[in-house]
Amino acid sequence: MTLDNAWDATPIVTAVTPFWKKVTTRVVFDPGVAPTDYLSTVKKIHLVANVLGEPVDSEPENTSLTVAQYRQRFSTYMTTLGKNVDIWEIGNEVNGEWTGPSATMAQKISGAFQEAKSRQIKTALTLFYSDDSLNTDREMVTWSRKYLSSTVLNGVDYVLVSFYPTTATGSHPNWTKIFTDLAALYPNAKLGFGELGLANEDGTLSTNAAAKKALIQRYYKLADPIKSRFVGGYFWWEFQEDAVPKYKPLWRTFFDLIR
CATH code: domain of residue 236: 3.20.20.80
- Predicted confidence at residue 114, as pLDDT, reads 99
* Dist. CA 49–CA 84, nearest whole Å: 10
* Dist. CA 35–CA 199, nearest whole Å: 31
- Backbone phi, then psi, for 210, in 5-degree steps? -65, -40
Look at residue 54 and give its three-state secondary structure: strand
Q: Is the pLDDT of residue 227 over 90?
A: no
- Predicted confidence at residue 192, as pLDDT, reads 98
- Tell me the mean pLDDT in the region 161-190: 97
pLDDT band, very low/low/confident/very high, at 186 (cuts 50, 70, 90) = very high
Instruction: Write out pLDDT tens, residues 61-111.
Output: 788 899 999 999 999 999 999 999 999 999 999 999 999 999 999 999 999
* Dist. CA 115–CA 230, nearest whole Å: 26
- Predicted confidence at residue 59, as pLDDT, reads 82
Look over the chain and give the mean of its residue pLDDT values, rounded to a whole number.
Answer: 96
Instruction: Write out pLDDT tens, residues 32-72.
Output: 999 999 999 999 999 999 999 999 999 877 888 999 999 99
Look at residue 49 and give its three-state secondary structure: coil
pTM of the model: 0.96
The count of structural domains within the chain is 1
Amino acid in the structure at residue 160: L
Look at residue 230 and give its three-state secondary structure: strand
* Dist. CA 67–CA 86, nearest whole Å: 24
- Predicted confidence at residue 223, as pLDDT, reads 87
Range of the domain at 232: 2-257
pLDDT cut 90: percent of the chain above it: 95
- Tell me the mean pLDDT in the region 21-32: 96
Instruction: Write out pLDDT tens, residues 193-221.
Output: 999 999 999 999 999 999 999 999 999 99
Q: Is the pLDDT of residue 254 over 90?
A: yes
- Tell me the mean pLDDT in the region 129-149: 96
- Predicted confidence at residue 48, as pLDDT, reads 98
* Dist. CA 130–CA 69, nearest whole Å: 29
* Dist. CA 201–CA 228, nearest whole Å: 34
